[in-house]
Structure 1
Amino acid sequence: MASAVRAYTLLAWTWCRAAAQYPISMILLSLATAVVTALDLAAIVMMFAHTPSISGFTAPEVLFLYGTSGLSFALADILLGSADRLGQHVRLGTLDAMLVRPVSPLVQVATEEFSPRRLGKLIPVVAVLVVAVPRLDVSWTPARVALVPLMILSGTAIFAALWVLTAAVQFVVVDGHQATKAVTYGGGFLTQYPLSVYGREFVRALTWMIPLAFVNWQPSLYIFDRPDPLGLPTAFRFASPAVAAVVCGLAALAWRSGLRHYRSTGS
């Protein structure tokens, strides 16, 4: 693990140094990334211009959900967002070259064309949290305070695991790049809103099948002191770290299985 982290840091730093040779371009691209990321925020602001609440949740509460989901998603995207290019490497045969190098193929794929502009995704979500948290009508106990960073870290791990899982699918479904985005980018969008706006069966799917409910929904219910629409026990509000560990374990198994069964394209 330590060697993988060192390799990741070195490769990412190498790409960043290359991007820094064109500083104006790098800054403009980072700002453009921040603006694009903030478009979802603009949609939420427009909704609250016409209604005082969404599914019973106030503006600060929805912005808190947006900020925590967006921060977790952005961190996972920065770290592993390029993994969804695996199918392209399989199709072109460039994965073969990665396999003979003394660095994990996942590290190589994840750091490919790593750019500081990815950090632009953090700007709007961090700004939203800075604005929303003081406006929450919440009694901040030590447990609630500790749950916020724990939620963000667990959410980041869940999104990162989903990226690896969907990348592993591309060992079999080589052209599944766009379909897998429905899980990663689609999941990031879904968790920006209270899950109670969706149907109960859909929420059950996001709890038991693709555990996006544990990114920020379940912990936020405890922070907001609200009941679970599905009637799940209070212990589920604190289950995000355990769920993240399970999903990461499944992602590791799927990735290793994909590598073991990979057959060169012969190109």
Structure 2
Amino acid sequence: MAEREQPVGPGAGYLALLRGQARSQASYRASFAVDLVSNVGATVFDVVTVLVLFQVTRILGGFDVREAMVMVGLSACSFATADLAVGNIERVRHYVRTGLMDAVLVRPLRPLPQLLLMDLPLRKLSRAAFGLAVLVVALAAADIDWTPGRVVLVLVAPLAGTVFFGSIFVASATLAFWWIDSGEVGNAFTYGGRDFTSYPVTVYGGWFRAIFAYGLGFAFVAYHPALALLGRADPLGLPGWVGWAAPGVAGLAAVGAAAAWRSGIRHYRSTGS
């Protein structure tokens, strides 16, 4: 009597998607190598832009170049890692427009992990590695007084920033379930948020800082963790413990993004094609 075939769990399905993507993207080695190199460019440009500003001023928003580069490093590392892990969720607009979302939903796998693994941009590994390198160099140059608490923070803050940016990617992509051509709106919060967090929030003012830095939480990606690492008092007058609030803010962002995604999936209507 033939043995029954053992059922394959969802973990094996996700792993198969990941392996398929890795094989397909690495099959053309020269092209993949070029992609790895070219993808570093965006992060390099972000770093160079900040350094150019310090060619015309010694202080930016109350911070010198070494202090500002810690913020740049935290921002670059967090954003690049989030972009690698979940940045391709932006393609959900294409799936909704063409009806391919139907095929995603009928599979016995959760739709969000499927979408992330179906086009995982491994070429962005170089960007994530460069972002981490910028952070390491900036921390070394800043001459930080390392304590056990700061060692923990320097490990936790980039992870929290990655979760925060990943949540922004997912939440902004969810707009496609209501408004397919929402790409530019989403980019204002993802790539715009990356640019915002690359500078001390003290360079911004009025309602703009209130909304983006604290209303949406971008100040907790790099600015406040950097203050805690540097041992600097906040020029805006907030207490020192705020620098340790990044994991909590990231957790709230993840909860909000998950709720928005579930609502979007329920709202989706099949094209019937």
Q: After the TM superposition, which residues 115-134 of structure 1 pair with which residues of structure 2 at under 5 Å, given as runs?
A: 115-134=121-140
Q: Is the 8 A contact 1:69 1:216 kept in 2?
A: yes
Which string of whole-angstrom CA distances, capped at 9 and with x for unpartnered residues, describes residues 93-125 of structure 1? 110111001122111221232232110212332
**2:35 aligned to 18, 29, 32, which one?**
29
Report the TM-score when normalising by structure 2.
Answer: 0.91
* Percent identity of paired positions between Structure 1 and Structure 2: 38
Q: Which residue of 1 aligns with 2:216?
A: 210
Question: Using a 3 Å threshold, how does the CA distance of structure 1 residues 38 and 7 change in structure 2: closer, same or farther?
Answer: farther
Deviation at 1:9, TM superposition (A): 4.2
Q: Is the 8 A contact 2:83 2:166 kept in 1?
A: yes
Q: Which residue of 2 aligns with 1:147?
A: 153
Q: After the TM superposition, which residues 178-193 of structure 1 pair with which residues of structure 2 at under 5 Å, given as runs?
A: 178-193=184-199
Q: Is the 8 A contact 1:7 1:107 kept in 2?
A: no
Q: After the TM superposition, which residues 1-267 of structure 1 pair with which residues of structure 2 at under 5 Å, given as runs?
A: 7-267=13-273
Give, in whole Å, the separation in 1 of the partners of 2:224 and 2:12.
Answer: 34
Give, in whole Å, the separation in 2 of the partners of 1:77 and 1:6.
Answer: 24
Give, in whole Å, the separation in 1 of the partners of 2:246 and 2:271.
Answer: 39
Q: Where does structure 2 lack aligned partners over 5 or more consecutive residues?
A: 1-8
Question: Using a 3 Å threshold, how does the CA distance of structure 1 residues 9 and 207 change in structure 2: closer, same or farther?
Answer: farther
Give, in whole Å, the separation in 2 of the partners of 1:229 and 1:127.
Answer: 28
Give, in whole Å, the separation in 2 of the partners of 1:206 and 1:245.
Answer: 17
3-state secondary structure, aligned to 1:55:
coil
Which string of whole-angstrom CA distances, capped at 9 and with x for unpartnered residues, describes residues 179-203 of structure 1? 1011011101110111111114322
Which string of whole-angstrom CA distances, capped at 9 and with x for unpartnered residues, describes residues 113-169 of structure 1? 223211021233222223221211432211112111111011011111111111112
Q: Is the 8 A contact 2:90 2:173 kept in 1?
A: yes
Instruction: State which drifts further: 6-15 or 76-85.
Output: 6-15
Instruction: State which drifts further: 145-154 or 207-216.
Output: 207-216
Deviation at 1:4, TM superposition (A): 6.4
Q: Which amino acid aligns with 1:196?
A: T
3-state secondary structure, aligned to 2:39:
helix
3-state secondary structure, aligned to 1:69:
helix
Deviation at 1:245, TM superposition (A): 1.1
3-state secondary structure, aligned to 2:24:
helix
Q: Answer with 1 or 2: which has the greater Rg.
A: 2
Give, in whole Å, the separation in 2 of the partners of 1:200 and 1:233.
Answer: 20
Report the TM-score when normalising by structure 1.
Answer: 0.92
Question: Using a 3 Å threshold, how does the CA distance of structure 1 residues 79 and 34 change in structure 2: closer, same or farther?
Answer: same
